[in-house]
A and B are shown apart, each in its own frame.
Chain A
Amino acid sequence: MQDLTFTHEVAERATGNTKLAITGVVASGNLEVLVERALPEKQCVVKIRTTVRGFDPVWKAVVDGFVERFPTGGLRFSINDGGARPDTVSLRLSQALRLMEKTEQ
């Protein structure tokens, strides 16, 4: 297993007010993403535990791209990865963010 943490200072707070969301399952080629609205508004943290070692630059590229494309301020993403491909990781991150964008009464 390998642990990775990426911390970004971001310009925009993530929209919506959902506190907590989860998507995906830990299985071969799949991953789960847990999101919590738990950080200062200008910060985004992505914490990863992965079964596959040595892909740090790929993870960095996927997370950089994600944080660049979407407003993610205030969110902490925690990932348990079962060896997903980069496109699956991007998909799950976007799904998780979409869930947080809901506005709960």
Chain B
Amino acid sequence: MSVSTNTAPQATGARQVSWYEASARTRVSQLLDESSFKEFLGPQEREMSPNLKSFDLPEQFDDGMIVGRGLIKRMPVFVAAQEGRFMGGAFGEVHGAKLTGLLRASRDIGSIPVLILFDTGGVRLQEANAGELAIAEIMRAVIEARIAGVSVIGLIGGRAGCYGGGGLIAGCCSALAVSEQGRISVSGPEVIETNRGVEEFDSKDRALVWRTMGGKHRRLIGGTDAFVDDTIEDFRETALSLLADTRPFTLQTLHEEQARLEWRIQQFGTSADAIDIWRSMGVDDAAAIPEMTYAQFTAAAQKIRRPNHAAR
């Protein structure tokens, strides 16, 4: 059964809405062809977290994870979307199991790619062990799907970013697309500051957070395959082009990925700030990168020697 949700009709410009501002349900319905989304375990099933009750915390009917299938320019895809405003999009037992199940279905079918719309702070602390296990299961399921020939594409541009276990899962994907607002990392700013001190990382310094973890930096150092504008339309077009360009996943791919990451740490491992990295990559006006518009940044990024994005 399809769930009606309040999304503007897909008439002129409806897909021009901000990905960052949109809810997970709006992202899914506008990313896909009109009315093509069919949800699995929808909110009416009330498949909610079994653990939040004991903490006297409110539940959400879909546990913050929307999974299903649909069409993107008439191509069948599986879709999973996290709602970043519910508990920071964090992974719990049910939330994680819904994604694991979707990925295993894609592995068994072997021909339908998966789009993961990340928006997460990582594991839900109230469901710590179940959440950590979910991350491990999802990472395995992503890899198994890819071995079976399925592309798993991550789309990142939500307000919670893609942190903790979400960052690990993103690292396992076939390809990633990120907007300027999307941040990808494992330990978040507050976590680093708490553990290593404010001299190591000042989480209150928003400019520092964005240039260390934000979409522009990830694009420049090859942490993402595509940099997109913050509209649902651009995420849709980019998802299509990433789906059209997927390579087989073998042991050789992993060796190449390892070499790529080793090269990166050799090149940039001693840099104290992202701006130093951009400068050493040959960006003309490195300090101006954070202020650049989407168009200016895309032009600047294309001029520099592109780090090896190929392996994954």
Contacts of B59 in A (CB 8 A): 26, 49, 80
Give the size of the chain B interface in residues (CB under 8 angstroms). 21
Q: Contacts of A80 on B, CB cut-off 8 Å?
A: 58-61
User: A61 on the interface (CB 8 Å rule)?
Assistant: no
Q: Is B12 an interface residue (CB 8 A)?
A: no
Shortest C-beta distance, A95 to chain B (Å), equals 6
Residue ID in chain B nearest A21 by CB atoms: B4
Question: Is B229 in contact with chain A by the CB < 8 A criterion?
Answer: no
Which residues of chain A in 47-105 are interfacial with respect to chain B, using CB atoms and an 8 Å cutoff? Answer: 49-51, 78, 80-82, 95, 98-100, 102
**With contacts A1-B58, A32-B60, A34-B44 known, is A25 near B85, CB below 8 A?**
yes
Q: In the docked arrangement, what's the CA distance between A22 and B44, Å?
A: 9
Residue of B nearest to A38 (CB): B44
Bound: A99/B25 CA distance, A: 14
Binding site for B on A (CB under 8 A): 1, 18-23, 25-27, 30, 32, 34, 36, 49-51, 78, 80-82, 95, 98-100, 102
On whether A32 and B61 interact (CB within 8 A), knowing A22-B43, A25-B86, A26-B86, the answer reads yes
Q: B292: CB under 8 A from chain A?
A: no
- Residues from chain A with a CB closer than 8 A to the CB of B83 are 25
Interface 0/1 of B163-206, CB less than 8 Å to A? 00000000000000000000000000000000000000000000
